[in-house]
């Protein structure tokens, strides 16, 4: 059973976040408490538009731009692959990745594509997606307050273990430095996320994640 002192500390921490994040007074809230709140909010996302942009040689894509639903887990969008900037229209359904072939019809993705493209549909998975990744951040600290596209956000930096990162990015080969900008005013949703890591091939990469159009109606037709 928690002691009275522990409960008092927890209450003070909660009040601190409510005061700093709720009224824009300029204080920096406890990072772990903000992360827990953001993780819980992210796990409730049912649909969204997700933009992934990659920098560095540790990923085989330049970007992935997709509409995503959680139930059923599905996605539809465009991936831009390296090298050469090849644009690939894709869809995810029932854990499988499909791409539009020369005939204009969906075909199962070749292994070299399926194994290297980060899964947008998985981003909303409560057990393996962004919400889960947020909940597993270690050594998080609040670095300051910044402007993100006209919205005030707290910048929080921490570490994501390699095994957790690999659930989002199969080619990851190291822990990641996780930087997230959480909205100052409630709900404290992630506005932008950066993951910096080393791939299994030893090359470094940074993956930026933007989530917009949260819980807006999205209809994705599964490939025939």
pLDDT single digits (tens) 83-129 = 778 898 999 988 889 999 888 899 998 887 777 777 888 888 888 88
Residue 159, C-beta contacts closer than 8 angstroms, at least 6 positions apart: 137, 138, 139, 175, 176, 177, 178
Look-up: residue for tokens 């994040």? 21
For 64-87, the pLDDT digits (tens) are 999 999 988 999 999 998 877 889
CA dist 160 and 32 (Å) reads: 13
**CATH class, 28-212 region:** mainly beta
Statement: residue 165 has pLDDT above 80: yes
* In the chain, where the domains are located: 28-212
């Amino acid at each position: 059973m928690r002691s009275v002192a522990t409960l008092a500390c927890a209450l003070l921490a909660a009040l601190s976040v409510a005061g700093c994040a709720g009224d824009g007074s300029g204080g920096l809230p406890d990072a772990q408490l903000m992360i827990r709140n953001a993780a819980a909010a992210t796990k409730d996302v049912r649909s969204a538009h997700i933009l992934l942009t990659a920098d560095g040689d540790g990923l085989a894509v330049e970007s992935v731009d997709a509409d995503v639903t959680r139930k059923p887990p599905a996605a539809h969008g465009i991936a831009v692959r390296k090298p050469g900037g090849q644009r690939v229209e894709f869809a995810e359904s029932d854990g499988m990745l499909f791409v539009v072939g020369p005939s204009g019809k969906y075909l199962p993705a070749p292994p070299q594509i399926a194994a290297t493209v980060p899964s947008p549909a998985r981003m909303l998975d409560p057990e393996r997606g962004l919400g889960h990744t947020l909940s597993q951040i270690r050594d998080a600290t609040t670095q300051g307050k910044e402007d993100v596209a006209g919205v005030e956000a707290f910048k929080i930096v921490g570490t994501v273990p390699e095994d957790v990162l690999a659930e989002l990015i199969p080619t990851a080969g190291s822990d990641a430095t996780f930087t997230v900008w959480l909205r100052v005013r409630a709900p404290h949703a992630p506005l932008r996320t950066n993951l910096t890591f080393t791939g299994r091939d030893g090359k470094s990469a940074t993956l930026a994640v933007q989530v917009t159009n949260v819980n807006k109606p999205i209809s994705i037709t599964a490939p025939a």
